[in-house]
Amino acid sequence: MKLFIKNPDQTGDHKVRTAYGNLACFVCIFCNVLLFAGKFLVGTIFGSMAITADAMNNLSDASSNVVSLVGFRLGAKPADDEHPYGHARYEYIAGLAVSVMILVIGVELLKESFLKVLHPTPVTFSALTIAVLLASIAVKLWMSVFNRNIGNRIHSETLLATAADARNDVISTSAVLVATLVTHFSGIDRIDGIMGLSVAAFILWSGIGLVRDTISPILGAAPDPELIEYIEKKATSYPGVLGIHDLMIHDYGPGNQLVSFHIEMPADCDVMQSHDLIDSIEKDFQVHDHLLVTIHFDPVVTDDPHINELRDFLKEKLAELEPQANLHDLRIVPGPTHTNVIFDCAVPADLLAARDRRANKIPAELRKAVSEKWPDHFCVIQLEPIYAKAK
């Protein structure tokens, strides 16, 4: 890394991140092509369908690495008028293409192995076969560690998926090694085709999992709980900040995230000072965390005993009804016959989508609790989903 990457510790820099991705892809392409050549040669010479299937798996891995490399290159393109948020999502698309390629090759290997089970042919045993398979296991084990380390360092789902795929290859190649030994000592040639079926099925299972993992961020997966917790702690660490809510994280690709949230501060603070503090928080996130943050200021009345009592009462009741829910923007509007208690109630998104309408029961229970304690108070509640949840 120190040899091929300039300033390797500055992983927040898009150029450094791209350099890491390029290095990982080139190393993986070289290793996978080398493994493919060795296994395909041995599988063809000695008539082993299981080894040939494993060789094709390595070829598919090399093709996947090429697609990943293209994804890193395209994702590094700067923003333009047509794509003002950049092109980083190309990496997600590349990951999806890799997953589909794995599925296609898995299906082809399944068909070839099935024919080998129906029409078994003799498999020649040799020390070279064992040596190639042992070398493959060692190389794939190293590749798994290599890709996982870089993937964690630059927060790349593509490289983490590559690391998982390499780990799976260690398992599948080990299975092929066992099949080769069992076939030799038992003399049952059909075992080779059966193990080929197992390897093909394993490739398909892995491909389905990768498709699911790569589609998730494209569809708008929930943000990392650790990132949410970090943002909340950092924002509330500033003096005068009472809390935050309505946190949203928009993912436009690895290393390209836009964040917005509402920040609660005392209503009696000087407006210019509050604005200056918000500017400082936004700049802090941008400079040190490479997050483009937009903050909305919510004034909170802290010197009204009745509002404070209402807030504490509602929070206590809400915690009993749904521990993950929260309320914000509480205000009251007194009138001659009744007082409106107005606030927003954020609940987990799955409650809003539930068929039994569990989310609608929460406002009803809160209205009932408030009216029993203050008969002339009426709650006006706006339900909304929680877009980001900490651990």
SS3 365: helix
List pLDDT tens digits, range 24-75: 999 999 999 999 998 888 888 877 776 787 788 788 788 778 888 888 888 8
- Give the mean model confidence (pLDDT) for residues 262-270: 92
Percent of the chain residues past pLDDT 70, beyond the cut? 97
Residue 38: which of 109, 132, 126 has the closest Cα?
Answer: 132
List pLDDT tens digits, range 151-178: 888 878 778 878 887 887 887 778 778 8
Q: Which of 5-9, 232-236, 348-352 has the lowest mean pLDDT?
A: 5-9
pLDDT at 167: 84
Q: How far are the Cα atoms of 28, 166, 284 from residue 142, in angstroms, in the given order?
A: 11, 9, 38
In this prediction, residue 239 has a pLDDT band, given cuts at 50, 70 and 90, of: very high
| Long-range contacts formed by 112-116: CB under 8 A, 24+ apart | 112/49, 112/52, 112/53, 112/196, 113/49, 113/50, 113/53, 113/193, 113/194, 113/196, 113/197, 113/199, 113/200, 114/193, 114/197, 115/193, 116/49, 116/192, 116/193, 116/196
pLDDT at 152: 86
Residue 179: which of 46, 357, 35, 360 has the closest Cα?
Answer: 46
pLDDT at 315: 94
Full-prediction pTM beyond 0.75? no
Compute the distance between CA of residue 216 and CA of residue 210 in angstroms, rounded to an integer: 10
pLDDT at 215: 87
Contact of 127 with 45, CB cutoff 8 Å: no
- Give the mean model confidence (pLDDT) for residues 133-146: 91
pLDDT at 122: 67
- Give the mean model confidence (pLDDT) for residues 131-155: 89
